[in-house]
Every structure is written in C-alpha cells, then in structure tokens.
A and B are shown apart, each in its own frame.
Chain A
C-alpha cells in the first residue's frame, strides 16, 4: 500500500511525532496569549529547552529527567521575559525578539562540547505486541510517551480554558485586564505564571527535538520551529484542538517533503525544504483574510502591558 514510495501508515505515525515540538510550544503560547501576553521568544525558549534537556539527559542518563530539565530551562528563560514585560513594562514585541536572540546565543555558547554525543534513548511506551498490529499499531500504539503527553495536554488545556475557574481568570485577564484588576485579580502575577508555563512547554518541545527527533545537539537545532508554533497559534484562533490540528497538518507537510526528498521525486531539494515555511505563510493568509477587525478571535488585550494606576 505505497504511493510513490511513501507508506501512508508510516507517514501518519511519523507526522504525529514530528509535530510534537511545535504542538507543545504552540499550546504553551496559546495559554500565554489567552492571558493577553504576546511572547515572541518561543524560538529562544525552545532552543534553550533543547540544550538544557540534552545536557541533563546526557549527564543523568535519564531522558525523563532530561525533559524535566528542558522544561525548567525554558521556564527560567521565560522568566526574563516575564520580569521585563510585567515588572519593567517593556514592549512585548521587542522583548520577545530579544529573548530569541539571547536564547540562540546562550544555547550556542552552552552547547559547545556537546556536539556528536548520543543522548539516552526514549523507547515506545506500550508493549511491542500492540505496536506490531497492522495500521493501528504504528499510528495509535507505537509512540513514545511525549506524543501521548502532547495529546493529553491539548485535551487538558481545552478543558482548563473552557470549563474551570483558572481558565476563566486567565481569559478575563487576557480579554480585559482593567476589568480583571477591578475584580481583584493580580493581573501581572497571573500573566507571569502563564508566561512561565509557556516557557516550560516550549522547553519540553525543544527537548523533544534534541532527545528524540534529531537526536543530538546541533547549533540552532530549532530552525524556526518556534516561529512556526507562533503562526499555528494564529491559525488555530487560540483554541487548543485547532492547535493540534494545525501542528499535525504542519508535521504532515514536513514529513511529506522529507519523504519526497528521500524518494527522489524530481522536485529540487531546495524547493521542498522551503515548503513548510511557504505553506505556513499561505495558511496565515487564508486564516487572516476576511477576518478584519475584532472578529479574528484574538484576545482583546493581546500585547498590551498593564500598569495598575489605582
């Protein structure tokens, strides 16, 4: 059942795995943006998470601790952003960019001496008997735990944002920080926690790249994944399930173009490797067209700093 040398079952199974980094980062950023904060430093937090996770995993020999390390590294870096925008009230766009530049610099500085090392391997979660089943085996049962974690987080965030008190508070802060403040919520403190959560998620996403996808440390390992995650949040209209859809679509395109490169489709390699970025642009255009003004689903206070004057 191959189409032009590409097996659809394997394709679906691989796209689910290859979507994990951007899915996790985009889910984190969704929460951050729903709280009214635009953190453009996702790329920086991912790359720091990739390095932090890699270092911890290599030294401890445990991939699980590695992912934890990635989360901590991403959250720590995001706290710089949180301090600058929530305490010093700096421009969020500029600070986010600075975070990305800084993160890329720190990671390439800290990553020296880690090139060419293999991290401890993460195996599939479920027993081989299930994973060997035809069709459903590779797609449903054959993954490592992070893939299931990413799907679980999608459902969890959907539920938290939609049905819980915490979700309501986060959305209130993002839609109208003045009103939330008047109700007695500590706007900047809530935003700070959301930013740290977003940093941790981006960090885990980055660690997935260096521990499972690649798996080794390469300078600039994220190659724009953080920016694509930001685009997916817009594509998803700030809704978790649509983030999942967007990330899988994107993962599918990435895997497909890699498969086409290997299969020797006759399309030049350069044009194939441009495809993910061009398709992201195309999707952004389709999503933003016809939704001028307020009705595009963006949180109303997105990107605005809050200073309690009273």
Chain B
C-alpha cells in the first residue's frame, strides 16, 4: 500500500518540476480526449504546441502569442498577489470588463479630438475602473466580513449586464447603422492601442505585462509589503503578531489585482478587440486563474505560464480551423491542466512511501 508522508520541508525540486510534469500529463490525457473525438491526437497536439512556434504560419502566429499572453499575465500577477495572501479575487473577469468600459468611455467621449494625452488618460481610467470594481468586494470584506469570492463573482454577472448595456446603449456607435458595438478604435489614432512592433505582437499591454512582472517580483522578494503578503498567506497568526494590518492588505491586494485586470481590459478593447461589443471579453479573467497557479503564484513563473496558455489559445484556434476541433475542447484542455497541476502538487509537500507491514 502506498501512503502519503509529509515532508519536513517542501521539496524545491517538485516546486519547479510540477508545472512541466502537469503539462506532459495534460498532453497525454488531452491526446486521449482528442482520440475519442475521432481526431489524430499527435496531429492535434502538434498543431497546438508546435505549429504556432515553428509551423508554416509561425511568422504570423508568433505575434499572436504575446497578444494573448499579455492580458493573461497582467491579470494573473494581480491575482497571484492576492492568492498568496489568502485573498481570493475570483471576479477578475468583471474588473477586466469594467476597465475596458471606463477606458473606452473616456476615449469615446472626446471623439474625434486628437491629442497625445487621450491614450494615457484612457489607461488611467481603465485601471481606475478595474480598481473601483475590485474595491466593492474589498470594502465589503473589510467592513462587513463578507466573502470576497462570492461577491467578486456576482459582480462578474453585473459587469456583463453593464457591458451589454454599453454595447447596445450608451457607448453604441452612432454611425453604426443600428448594429450593436461601439466605434472602432482602429479608426481613431489618438485613442488606439496600436502595435509598437507588429511581428512580435507587441503593444502597450504587452509592455505593461512584462514591466508589471518585474515590479511584482521585486515587490514580493525585496519589499516590506511583499513580505507581509507572503507572511499573511503562510502564517496568518504570525502575521498578526508581526503587525500586519489585514484591512490594508485586503484593500492593497484587491486594489492591485483589480487595477491590473482593468488595464488588461483597456489595452484589449483599444487594441486587438478594437471596440466594445457584447462579447469582446473572452474569459481571460477566468483563464488567468489557471495561469496564476501554473506559474506557481510567482511573477516570473506567471510570464512563462502566460505564454504557454497563450499557445493553447493560438494553437487551439489553428486546430479549430484546420482540423475542425471544437473550441470548447481547448477549454476542457485548460481545465485538465489545472487539475493535473493541483494533483501533482501533492509531491511538493508530501512524498509517497510504501507502507511496510504493521506500524
């Protein structure tokens, strides 16, 4: 009989080995899933993981990687700060939507003025929108001890309703022939989040994601606030004795994650998406949760995890067009990845021992 035994200290080897092992297991399980759907598993896996990097269309698809990874990394870093402190912001999707609406509203309000200050102000408005939406669960938690998981999640549905209202009502393109959706930012240079370097898919969102990763890493490893976040997550009692103010920590973590999600939303709506539509949001806020765990809640790990997850999106789209794989299969694939990650993670803190005879 195998039995679990707690390790005296977490294994450093498995801390780093868990994500790759989980990815390999997911490929195997995903391959079986694709095979049962009547697809050639090797072809599908190659289309998802190899072709976007080295296949015939790689010159274009490589650029798409950063486009998809940018928002995922930006959101996941914010979430990871909270998760580390034991603060569960699950509503990043809503904060992402509100950031996009706030930012886009500023840009659309001054249409068609041309000024180089418009885009920076939109960025601020986007971050503010996300921050504001995250402050609702944060303040309810600190003032009334309300569960932040449920409140932040409920607010996703509220944000989606506001988005529908924005796309069909207050932000609707007056010259759009009655179709839902706002003006397209691609026709409004002062407010557009244009590519800085198209072959890499680099726009301001990608820059923000990479800079944020470095800043978050420094914050967590070198700064007092980062120490408090880690302490509050690992030893809540010790944190209280150390003088960590739980209220300030909740407001800080929720605020940062909300603002980052809002930024991601603004960069997306003013850039790749181009306009506010009913369904411009594509679930980045939820996928970012997987990214945060896959990156081991470590900012630099999250950058790698963000690119890997972007690969499944880009490759998944490829597999959808060339092999007819349903897009939902990719969602299942991403869910499986998180399952395997959580399962393999047991080896970080425990080891399997053969139980010998009676004890």
Contacts and interface: CB of A to CB of B under 8 A. Distances in A.
Contact of A94 (B157, B164, B342): B342
Range class of the B interface residue count: 35 or more
Contact of B155 (A40, A234, A277, A289): A277
Given A280-B154, A285-B146, A102 B345 contact: no
A288 B147 contact: yes
A129 interface: no
The SS class assigned to the B binding surface is helix
Contact of A88 (B151, B289, B342): B342
A243 B154 CA distance: 19
A277 B286 contact: no
B177 interface: no
Contacts of B330: 105
Interface in A189-248: 223-224, 227-228, 230-231, 234
Contacts of A231: 147, 150, 154
A289 B334 contact: no
Contacts of B338: 94, 97-98, 101-102
11 contacts: A84-B339, A88-B342, A88-B345, A89-B350, A98-B342, A102-B335, A109-B331, A224-B153, A227-B153, A270-B169, A273-B161
A288 B328 contact: no
B293 A94 contact: yes
B290 interface: yes
Interface in B145-191: 145-147, 149-151, 153-155, 157-158, 161-162, 164-165, 169
Contacts of B335: 98, 101-103, 105-106
A270 B326 CA distance: 31
A83 B340 CA distance: 11
Given A270-B161, A291-B145, A307-B4, A90 B151 contact: no
A270 B162 contact: yes
Contacts of A223: 157
B351 interface: no
B332 A105 contact: yes
A307 B352 CA distance: 13
Contacts of A292: 145
B90 interface: yes
Q: Which 4 A-B pairs have the closest CB atoms?
A: A102-B335, A105-B331, A90-B342, A109-B328
A104 B326 contact: no
Interface string A30-69: 0000000000100000000000000000000000000000
Contacts of A112: 326, 328
Interface string B1-28: 0001010000000000000000000000
A91 interface: yes
Nearest to B145: A288
A234 B154 contact: no
Given A84-B342, A97-B289, A89 B4 contact: yes
Contacts of B215: none
A80 B336 CA distance: 11
